[in-house]
Amino acid sequence: MGVLFARQKVKEFVLQEFVQGTEISTEAWFDGERFHALNHTLEEKKLMDGGIGPNTGCAGNILWIPARPTTLYNLGLARTVDALRRVGFVGPIDLNTIATDGEIFGLEWTPRFGYEGTCNLTRLLPIEFGEFLHRVASGQMTDLAQPNYAFAASVRLSVPPYPNPSNPEKYAGVPIDGLDLDRLDSFFLSDACLTKEGKLETIGTDGWIGSPIGCSDSIKGAFDECQVAIDKLMIPDMMYRTDLARCIEKRYTNLQQQGWLRMP
């Protein structure tokens, strides 16, 4: 406590209740009357393997579209339908929660496009994303067919000083070699640009180069697809986590055993 006040010059703070459980995102798209494209996301936030190091927001994640509404959705996001109708909301809503063995606790309520989750979603939808947005916005959504794959994964690739924002311009001009520019539907680019010579390199905004997106009918298979793309890249000082599949599979299994992913 003394260190907090002495080093950070904190004058006051709010001590929140700590809840031990599994963090999971539940997102769906509201057309003014009902939700569509329900999906869940599990992500690892810490920079380094083993869940250590600074919090990056997202070091990698997995997204899937359940065949039917899950218990987690029914006890959380589904309860907001009447309120969203009253205000005329149209768009994506994400409810981030901590799921324990018996209860869920809300962490974050977010009406936004979430990276890299939205990118993963575009790979699973059975229609073009532009057509999907049009149907949601115009209230013309029909029942979506089965998703293209069971899971879509992403792995965040970065170079120093990421995630430290200090002097990122120092790392502008880092070459990004080995990326097929004709296959960018499977790679979300962030800190990257094309030079006049047609070469890809970092801009120097924050060091987050981007994320390959892998799809498969299993969690491990989706991350294996990401690794195939990573193995083709040649980027000096590139950083990424290598334990994402193992960590996320463990959390997914835990949620299954607790009944949160059950589809009543």
Distances (CA, A) of 56 to 16, 45, 163, 177, 229: 21, 5, 6, 24, 22
In tens digits, the chain (264 residues) has pLDDT values of 555 556 666 677 777 778 899 999 999 999 999 999 999 999 999 999 999 999 998 999 999 999 999 999 999 999 999 999 999 999 999 999 999 999 999 999 999 888 899 999 999 999 999 999 999 999 998 878 799 999 999 999 999 889 987 777 778 999 999 998 888 889 999 999 999 998 999 999 889 999 999 999 999 999 999 999 999 999 999 999 999 999 999 999 999 999 999 998
What is d(CA 80, CA 92) in angstroms, rounded to the nearest whole number? 13
- Under DSSP, the state recorded for 142 is P
Q: 52 — alpha (psi -120 to 50), left (phi > 0) or beta?
A: beta
What is d(CA 176, CA 27) in angstroms, rounded to the nearest whole number? 32
Q: Which residues pair with 216 in a beta bridge?
A: 151
What is the pTM assigned to this prediction? 0.92
What is d(CA 247, CA 150) in angstroms, rounded to the nearest whole number? 18
Domains and CATH numbers, the chain: 22-165+208-258 (3.30.470.20)
The dihedral built from the CA positions of residue 54, 57, 59 and 61, taken in this order, carries a sign that is positive
